[in-house]
Amino acid sequence: MISKEHRKEKGNALFLILIAVVLFAALSYAVTNSSGGGGINKEKLVLEAAQIIDYVTEIRTAIMRMRIINDCSDTDINFAQPQVGGYVNPTSPTDKSCDVFDINGGGMSYKKPKDEWLATISPLPSNYKEFLFTGQSCIAGVGKGVDFNCWNDSDLSNQELLIFLPWISKEMCIHLNNKLGIVNPGGNPPQDFGSMWNTSNLKFVGTYTEDSAPWYGAANDGLLSVCMEGDTQPPAGTYHFYHVLLAR
């Protein structure tokens, strides 16, 4: 027969086990919410942001290499590739020595932007899930462009060759700026003061034009890379990353 004292000790042990189970469950819940789902997502975004920056930097390096080794001029660069049309440069050498996405030129492969980089938008805008290559903008403080007015000073020799990753998520935009050491004012990406690009002369096919300028004030003068919220074209509430491939 089990003594009263033994039953009491057994009951106490079960109570302590139940307390331990409850505490363990609470701890697991706290860890999951603080560093589980959200933490893993943040870590993934940081890694993906690094991949984006590495990729655009590799393209910039490939262009520099073509200019040095293959003697490609700033108007010879060709971004033609089978995945996205509209980039055939008719003045580029026929031997493809100035083709970014050809083994005889830059040797790069075109990578389609990943879904997890992008904002959810409906209906889908133009150039969604594309890298955009354009020669229609001047970045103040980069190359010959002294100030913001370089985008409309009738001097086409100071327009930069840019790559855009448009229509990305706000979270990705923030992480890109963090990775680049660029301040996100109030925790939000800086906002453009006008139009980052114009729908005319948008894709680079060997000519430079004065149509737009990604700019949010003196803070981004001289920056080769930054992610910004749109303002006019593209609109506010959308986020876009640019990187200077060739400063002129």
- Domains of the chain by residue range: 4-246
Token pair belonging to 6: 């033994």
Reply yes or no on whether the pLDDT at 39 is more than 50. no
Q: Note the pTM of the prediction, 2 decimals.
A: 0.80
Token pair belonging to 103: 């083994």
Give the helix/strand (H/E) hosting 45. helix 37-69
pLDDT digits (tens, 9 = 90+) for 140-199: 888 776 677 777 777 887 889 999 999 999 999 999 999 999 999 999 999 998 888 988
Which of the pair, 19 or 244, is modelled with greater confidence?
244
- Pairing mode, strands 239-246 and 225-229: antiparallel
pLDDT digits (tens, 9 = 90+) for 191-243: 998 888 988 889 999 999 988 878 788 788 888 999 999 998 999 999 999 99
Return the percentage of the chain with pLDDT > 70, whole number. 83
* pLDDT confidence of residue 139: 84
Q: Maximum distance among all alpha carbons in the chain?
A: 103
